[in-house]
Amino acid sequence: MASDTTITAGALAASEKPGEGVWGFSRAQIIALGALVVFLAVAPFVLYPVFLMKLLCFALFACAFNLLIGYVGLLSFGHAAYFGMGGYLAGHAAKVWGLTPELSIIVGGATAAALGAVAGWIAIRRQGIYFAMITLALAQMVYFFCVQAPFTGGEDGIQAIPRGNLLGVLPLDRDMNMYWVVVAVFLGGFLLIHRIIHSPYGQVLKSIRENEPRATSLGYRTDDYKLMAFILSATLAGVAGATKSLVFGIATLTDVHWAMSGEVVLMTLVGGLGTVFGPLVGAAVIVTMQNYLAEMGAWVTVIQGVIFVACVIAFRRGIVGEIARLLKVKL
Amino acid sequence: MDDIFGIPAPLLFGQLLLGLINGAFYAMLSLGLAVIFGLLNIVNMAHGAQFMMGAFAAWMLLAWFGIGYWWALLLAPIIIAITGIILERLLISRLYKLDHLYGLLLTFGLALIIEGVFRNEFGSSGLPYRIPDALSGAWDLGFMFMPVYRGWVVIAALVLCLATWLIIEKTRLGAYLRAATENAALVQAFGVNVPRMVTLTYGFGVALAAVGGVLAAPIYSVNPQMGSNLIIVVFATVVIGGMGSILGAILTGFTLGVVEGLTKVFWPEASATVIFVIMAIVLLARPAGLFGRA
């Protein structure tokens, strides 16, 4: 088992006991998942649905990012590229091509997958900090592309994206209808990631995280596994971005900027790297914070920086990682 | 005026010069990053913010204390290096035993804090910094007019880079540094105070970024974002060059600046992305970088 010094210390709070729980979920995770489902069912009647949808989109984005950092040990500093491009293409598909929302989201996810395949193919040639720098540089390239490409609308972005009718039937202009679609997308992505992690493929990913040379010597083509994980992560980030652009009816440069890549790192770090529920909790914390501090302008950046520093210095397990450690369970 | 490849010569040479100047900043910043990474094993994401702080320090010295360019060139790097040393002692030094990625995350957080504070204090529109009298005007080179200040930046950056190379490769101090990069524990066993050397190395790398900032102040407007846009290109430069070689970092920096300048002439739309494309090609052909050790 890796020591506390590795980046995924939060994931190692309790050892895994196979055979316990259902579908790879531990008992604690089943309880947490039940609580989550109840929360999602009750929340829109208490809280503002648009706020919840924003939260869920970012939560899925953070879960996708966590798949790479938490289970393969790869820190991508350019995930905004997939999130933002997914949003742009979904917006374009819905507005210009007139596709239904579910097809638009698929278009967004497919775009991110293609982009992730190319970027991942280049980036997995290096590890550690180089991987982070390469993904950051490639994402900056995508950003400049979006600034110049005609279909993105430059500084204005794509505006007035119609939410359309789900499957051509259910009008999503009503926030409550849209909310249930977003919940379905989020839970679908969340469970898919869980399934991936607990599949034999996911076990190989974890072995690569713990000791790549040993995985190679056992005969695994680690590069193929890493590339596949990168594409899966990029795809889900694209789906999250696509859903977000439909919810808000707008896709802008903010979503492809490096600051967004930093934000998703922060969400996952706050919640707990390598924990199943950490990205969700982290996204909730950061999105709520941004909502309350919106008028404070540049101070939000400063506060985010302070949280970064505080987490790295004193709180590396994150919120969920700490809870899991205190309760001696796996979350 | 004559045309070269169908491009008016003044335009071509003008962009070449701009490319050289950008290259000078790429070289200085990637050099600082490489020196810090070599000993600390940390990618200093705050490097761009510290470059920006250098420019602001020069501006503040002039606007608040009436201290001119030449003193600023000396004082600003010292001030910024001291802030860097404080950060290293207080925060960064706690991470040496952890995964390198934590250092990256910490310095990224520091960069956000620094940029945010400056943006609150000075807005994002940018402040002017006048070119010092001794360096104003332009030389007539026959084929183009060369603003004296721009020539000075290129020469100053070259001298600084080469001086750094000489210190690291040819002096006793540099030998300690290289030895500690290879095996810090062994060097410490010989009685060298490695933690102090690490702190001073970080200060030195930060000072290099700050000098870059002071040099950049009269060319670009002094604004809080000036570093963050630059630093991502510098990361690409570092990936292309590989962090193993000092001369390699210098050469890569200047070359990429020139390539970017030429792209601006022949294919302006691609000039923002050309360095990233080169990075991708280099990674496919030589993953360790042009001068890197695998």
Q: Are strands A170-171 and B3-4 parallel, antiparallel or unpaired?
A: unpaired
In this complex, do B106 and A312 lie within 8 Å of one another by their Cβ atoms?
Answer: yes
Confidence bin at A15 (pLDDT 50/70/90)? very low
**Averaged pLDDT for residues B150-173:** 91
> Closest approach of chain B CAs to the CA of A254, in angstroms?
15
Predicted local confidence at residue B27, as pLDDT: 92
Which three-class secondary structure state does DSSP give residue A257? coil
Check whether A175 has a pLDDT greater than 50: yes
Residue B261 lies in a domain: no
- State how far the Cα of A157 lies from the Cα of A72, in Å rounded to an integer: 34
Residue A322 lies in a domain: no
Predicted local confidence at residue A6, as pLDDT: 60
- State how far the Cα of B88 lies from the Cα of B76, in Å rounded to an integer: 18
Residue A315 lies in a domain: no
Number of other CB atoms surrounding residue A245 within 10 Å: 32
Predicted local confidence at residue A7, as pLDDT: 61
* A263-308 pLDDT tens trace: 999 999 999 888 889 999 999 999 998 888 878 777 888 998 999 8
**Averaged pLDDT for residues B218-245:** 86
**Averaged pLDDT for residues B5-9:** 72
Residue A280 lies in a domain: no
Predicted local confidence at residue B107, as pLDDT: 93
**Averaged pLDDT for residues B237-260:** 87
In the block, tokens 């603003």 appear at B147
Number of other CB atoms surrounding residue B141 within 10 Å: 10
**Averaged pLDDT for residues B36-61:** 91
Residue A14 lies in a domain: no
- State how far the Cα of A15 lies from the Cα of A328, in Å rounded to an integer: 9
Residue B214 lies in a domain: yes
Predicted local confidence at residue A13, as pLDDT: 42
Residue B250 lies in a domain: no
* A51-73 pLDDT tens trace: 999 999 999 999 999 999 988 88
**Averaged pLDDT for residues A224-240:** 94
Range name among A230-234, B8-12, B281-285 with the lowest pLDDT average? B8-12
The total domain count for chain B is 1
- State chain B's mean pLDDT as an integer: 87
Range name among A253-267, B39-53, B261-275 with the lowest pLDDT average? B261-275
Residue A35 lies in a domain: no
Q: ipTM score here?
A: 0.86
* B115-134 pLDDT tens trace: 999 988 888 888 888 888 87
* A311-328 pLDDT tens trace: 998 888 889 888 888 888
Q: Does the beta carbon of B105 lie under 8 angstroms from any beta carbon of chain A? A: yes
Residue A306 lies in a domain: no
Contacts of B48 in chain A (CB under 8 A): none
Residue A138 lies in a domain: yes
**Averaged pLDDT for residues A160-186:** 85
Confidence bin at A8 (pLDDT 50/70/90)? low
Predicted local confidence at residue A10, as pLDDT: 46
- State how far the Cα of B144 lies from the Cα of B7, in Å rounded to an integer: 14
Domain that holds residue A120: 43-256
Mutate to test the interface with B, among A125, A308, A311 (most CBs of B within 10 A): A308
Check whether A197 has a pLDDT greater than 60: yes
Confidence bin at A14 (pLDDT 50/70/90)? very low
Q: Which is nearest to B202 in space by CA: B109, B80, B74?
A: B80
In this complex, do A133 and B117 lie within 8 Å of one another by their Cβ atoms?
Answer: no
Predicted local confidence at residue B117, as pLDDT: 92
Q: Does the beta carbon of A72 lie under 8 angstroms from any beta carbon of chain B? A: no
Q: Which is nearest to A264 in space by CA: A20, A31, A79?
A: A79
Predicted local confidence at residue B130, as pLDDT: 84
Q: Does the beta carbon of B111 lie under 8 angstroms from any beta carbon of chain A? A: yes
Integer-rounded Cα radius of gyration of chain B: 19
Check whether A111 has a pLDDT greater than 80: yes
Burial of A174 per CB tally in 10 Å (0-12, 13-18, 19+): exposed
**Averaged pLDDT for residues A75-102:** 91
Residue B100 lies in a domain: yes
Q: Does the beta carbon of B280 lie under 8 angstroms from any beta carbon of chain A? A: yes
Residue A25 lies in a domain: no
Residue B158 lies in a domain: yes
Predicted local confidence at residue A91, as pLDDT: 92
The total domain count for chain A is 1
Residue B252 lies in a domain: no
Q: Report yes or no: A321 and A328 within 8 Å, Cβ to Cβ.
A: no
Domain that holds residue B63: 3-229
Predicted local confidence at residue B108, as pLDDT: 92
Predicted local confidence at residue B95, as pLDDT: 87
- State chain A's mean pLDDT as an integer: 86
DSSP track, A181-204: HHHHHHHHHHHHHHHHHTSHHHHH
Residues of chain A with pLDDT > 90, as a percent, come to 41
> What are the CA-CA distances from residue A48 to residues A43, A164, A175, A177 (Å)?
8, 21, 10, 14
H runs (alpha helix) in chain B: 9-40, 47-65, 69-90, 100-122, 148-170, 172-182, 184-189, 194-216, 226-241, 246-266, 274-285
Of the segments A280-289, B95-104, B265-274, which one has the largest average pLDDT value? A280-289
